[in-house]
């Protein structure tokens, strides 16, 4: 295996940022082919191949910070001088480049190594199954590489910066506070790569065979993976589809502008724009809105619905909207974006309609965050006859994760049931247990959702809005964080805990928390709902003091006669 390393940079630079990567795993390359651009303050450097062969590994992602001497690619082939060697007219390299035909036997073949696929693979392997997992990019999927983990790493940087700016309220003083986005991104990449390495180690430890490439399902017991170097046929007893999702692109005039970003590009920005327009006020859009506002960017959110985070209850939407506006985020709800036009000075103008009137915002960057859609490319599900759901936006599955072909299962975003990493992981375990003959089903009544705005929002079970739509008679308990001692000591008094009780049974059926540590607090309520506990049982439980968790106890007391520390 030949390693392609970063040999040099412009001027005296020792590190740079990965720009466009021009190859992907499985590509056939020759000496002199352009592999990647690396950007520094002194200029860009092109890294070209000094070998010919097949790209087997790519150790970098666009936006990563890398240093001279770092390994960028691993190639199965020959170096320049070796490629010209021939013996008796035999061209060794040409022979090497012929696809190697392989055949593998497996118990379970998993297509996709995201949080659904790799969890299923490790779990199945621990049960003694021979597992093959196919991944065309990096293990961890969107969640680890371009979503959950990278976003939260940057959220943490923005939180610390926000706290430093208000240090004087704690009796502390900090001067000349600034943001170095290159270091923010470098920290994000370090965390991401550490976790990727951990997953690779676990797959290897449990003898899961990993194949890089696109998996095509030939029939219910055969999966084919073709690259320029190999043609692999996997004969398998069962198949799990875990190919995830991709960014949805809306048909907006000018969407191809160089100033338009998806969440993937936004996670690799090493310089801050002065003004950012975010198209979409859902979870992704609002998380980025609070991140960049914290860093001092002027943020505008344009949302088609009448509220941001429209799936939440009205009181929660009102609370987070009020906080966003207080922080300086400008919200335009009930607005439809019509075009994005570039100006002569390199900026863009976002044109949208609100209340029948045309409005315009000029900005440096536009982040399109309108959601994600299932990814099916190259799977061959049409030829196989795998059924889609009613809206044709995901693979149809039953409660055991089976498709209409009994030994073909589907999990995660590709099913469009819940687009959450932790749901995909749980679905993966359920699928494996059914393959093992355990007859398991999945219950979605206590699925937690975490939104990393500032403050955080966490939701589990059904909302008050949905409960009333279903005709369920409910009682609501609320307790403000401003009455919680721990929240006040943290300097985070915003938000509240809301508990929803089914009046007929006394059981907790839903909860929303907005405030300090909301996403961590939610686990307690999730456990309550999953085990059918009542609000009365919560009131009879001792909560430690002083903690933010006491607000859950107080919200339950609010349902059962009245909170103690709030009138």
Q: What is the pLDDT of residues 350-373, one digit of tens each?
A: 999 999 999 999 999 999 998 889
Going by their DSSP bridges, the two strands 365-368 and 275-279 should be labelled as: parallel
pLDDT at 10 over 70: no
pLDDT bucket at 248, cuts 50 / 70 / 90: confident
Mean pLDDT, residues 403-421 taken together: 95
| pLDDT confidence of residue 1 | 79
332 φψ region: left (φ > 0), alpha (ψ -120 to 50), beta (else): beta
| pLDDT confidence of residue 61 | 84
| pLDDT confidence of residue 8 | 81
H/E stretch holding 528? helix 518-530
Topology agreement, domain 100-144+186-246+373-435 and domain 260-369? yes
| pLDDT confidence of residue 41 | 66
pLDDT at 332 over 50: yes
| pLDDT confidence of residue 38 | 86
pLDDT at 50 over 90: no
pLDDT at 548 over 60: yes
| pLDDT confidence of residue 560 | 93
Q: Mind listing the pLDDT tens digit for each residue in 196-207? A: 999 999 999 999
| Tokens standing for residue 477 | 């308990």
CATH fold label, 100-144+186-246+373-435 = FAD/NAD(P)-binding domain (3.50.50)
Instruction: Average the pLDDT over each of 28-37, 102-111, 185-194, 527-536 and give the range with the smallest value.
Output: 28-37
CATH fold label, 449-559 = Enolase-like; domain 1 (3.30.390)
42 or 448: which leads in pLDDT: 448
Query: 443 Cβ partners below 8 Å, 6+ apart?
Result: 530
Burial class (CB in 10 A: 0-12, 13-18, 19+), 218: middle
pTM over 0.75: yes
CATH fold label, 2-96 = OB fold (Dihydrolipoamide Acetyltransferase, E2P) (2.40.50)
Evaluate the omega torsion of the peptide bond into residue 331 and state whether it is cis, within 30 degrees of 0.
no
pLDDT at 445 over 80: yes
d(CA 7, CA 69): 6
pLDDT at 82 over 60: no
Domain ranges of the chain: 2-96, 100-144+186-246+373-435, 260-369, 449-559
Q: Mind listing the pLDDT tens digit for each residue in 84-120? A: 444 444 454 555 556 788 899 999 999 999 999 999 9
**Share above pLDDT 90 across residues of the chain, in percent, rounded to a whole number:** 75
| pLDDT confidence of residue 229 | 76
Report yes or no: 334 and 312 within 8 Å, Cβ to Cβ.
no
| pLDDT confidence of residue 45 | 79
| pLDDT confidence of residue 250 | 85
3 or 302: which leads in pLDDT: 302
Instruction: Average the pLDDT over each of 169-183, 219-233, 538-552 and give the range with the smallest value.
Output: 219-233
pLDDT at 327 over 80: yes
Q: Which of 405, 401, 402, 400 is nearest to 384 (CA)?
A: 405
What CATH code would you report for 260-369? 3.50.50.60
DSSP state letters, 52-75? EEEEEEE---TT-EEETT-EEEEE
Does 422 participate in catalysis according to the annotation?
no
pLDDT at 74 over 90: no
| pLDDT confidence of residue 24 | 84
pLDDT at 522 over 50: yes
Q: Mind listing the pLDDT tens digit for each residue in 476-508? A: 999 999 999 999 999 999 999 999 999 999 999
237 φψ region: left (φ > 0), alpha (ψ -120 to 50), beta (else): alpha
Range with top average pLDDT, 40-44, 224-228, 244-248: 244-248
pLDDT bucket at 27, cuts 50 / 70 / 90: confident
Mean pLDDT, residues 230-249 taken together: 93
| pLDDT confidence of residue 232 | 93
d(CA 354, CA 334): 6
d(CA 321, CA 329): 9
d(CA 152, CA 451): 10
Q: Mind listing the pLDDT tens digit for each residue in 302-316? A: 999 999 999 999 999
pLDDT at 80 over 60: no
Which 3 state secondary structure label does DSSP give 58? strand
How many CA atoms lie less than 13 Å away from 457 in the CB half-sphere? 25
- Integer angstrom CA distances of residue 403 from 80, 196, 214: 49, 30, 20
The residue annotated as part of the active site, out of 426, 545, 553, 565, is: 545
| Tokens standing for residue 147 | 């979503």
Q: Mind listing the pLDDT tens digit for each residue in 157-191? A: 999 999 999 999 999 998 899 999 999 999 999 99
């Amino acid at each position: 295996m030949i390693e392609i390393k970063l040999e040099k940079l412009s001027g005296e630079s020792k590190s740079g940022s990965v720009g466009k990567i021009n190859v992907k795993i499985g590509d056939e390359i020759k000496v002199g082919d352009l592999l990647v651009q690396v950007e520094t303050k002194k200029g860009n450097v092109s890294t070209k191949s000094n070998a010919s062969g097949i790209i087997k590994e790519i150790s970098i992602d666009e936006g990563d910070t890398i240093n001279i001497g770092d390994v960028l690619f691993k190639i199965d082939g020959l170096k320049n001088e070796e490629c010209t060697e021939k013996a008796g007219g035999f061209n060794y390299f040409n022979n090497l480049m012929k696809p190697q035909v392989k055949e593998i036997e497996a118990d379970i073949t998993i297509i996709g190594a995201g949080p659904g696929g790799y969890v299923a693979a490790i779990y199945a392997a621990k049960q003694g199954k021979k597992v093959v997992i196919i991944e065309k990019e990096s293990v961890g999927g969107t969640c680890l590489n371009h979503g959950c983990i990278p976003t939260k790493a940057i959220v943490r940087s923005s939180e610390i910066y926000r706290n430093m700016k208000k240090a004087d309220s704690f009796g502390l003083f900090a001067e000349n506070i600034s943001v170095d986005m290159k270091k923010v991104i470098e920290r994000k990449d370090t965390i991401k790569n550490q976790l990727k390495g951990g997953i690779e180690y676990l797959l290897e430890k449990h003898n899961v065979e990993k194949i890089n490439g696109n998996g095509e399902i030939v029939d219910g017991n055969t999966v084919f993976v073709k690259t320029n170097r190999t043609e692999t046929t996997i004969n398998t007893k069962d198949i799990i589809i875990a190919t995830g999702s991709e960014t949805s692109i809306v048909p907006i005039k000018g969407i191809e502008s160089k100033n338009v970003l998806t969440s993937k590009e936004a996670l690799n920005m090493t310089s801050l724009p002065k003004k950012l327009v975010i198209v979409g006020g859902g979870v992704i859009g609002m998380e980025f809105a609070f991140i960049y506002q914290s860093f001092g960017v002027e943020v505008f959110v344009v949302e088609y619905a009448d509220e941001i985070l429209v799936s939440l209850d009205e009181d929660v939407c009102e609370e987070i909207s009020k906080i966003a506006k207080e922080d300086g985020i400008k919200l335009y709800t009930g607005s439809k974006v019509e075009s994005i036009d570039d100006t002569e000075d390199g900026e863009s103008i976002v044109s949208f309609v609100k209340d029948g009137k045309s409005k315009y915002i000029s900005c440096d960057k536009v982040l399109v965050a309108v959601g994600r859609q299932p990814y099916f490319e190259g799977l061959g599900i049409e030829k196989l006859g795998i059924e889609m759901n009613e809206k044709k936006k995901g693979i149809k599955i039953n409660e055991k994760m089976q498709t209409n072909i009994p030994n073909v299962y589907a999990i995660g975003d590709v099913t469009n049931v819940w687009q959450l990493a932790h749901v995909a992981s749980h679905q993966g375990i359920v699928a494996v247990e059914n393959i093992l003959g355990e007859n398991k089903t999945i219950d979605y009544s206590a699925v937690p959702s975490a939104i990393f705005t500032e403050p955080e929002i966490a939701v589990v079970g059904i909302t008050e809005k949905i409960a009333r739509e279903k005709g369920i008679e409910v009682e609501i308990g609320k307790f403000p964080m401003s009455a919680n001692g721990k929240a006040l000591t943290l300097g985070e008094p915003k938000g509240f805990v809301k508990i929803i009780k089914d009046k007929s049974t006394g059981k907790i059926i839903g909860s929303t928390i907005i405030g300090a540590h909301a996403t961590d607090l939610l686990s307690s309520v999730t456990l309550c709902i999953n085990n059918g506990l009542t609000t009365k049982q919560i009131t009879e439980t001792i909560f430690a003091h002083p903690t933010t968790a006491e607000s859950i106890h107080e919200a339950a007391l609010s349902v059962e006669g009245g909170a103690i520390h709030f009138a």
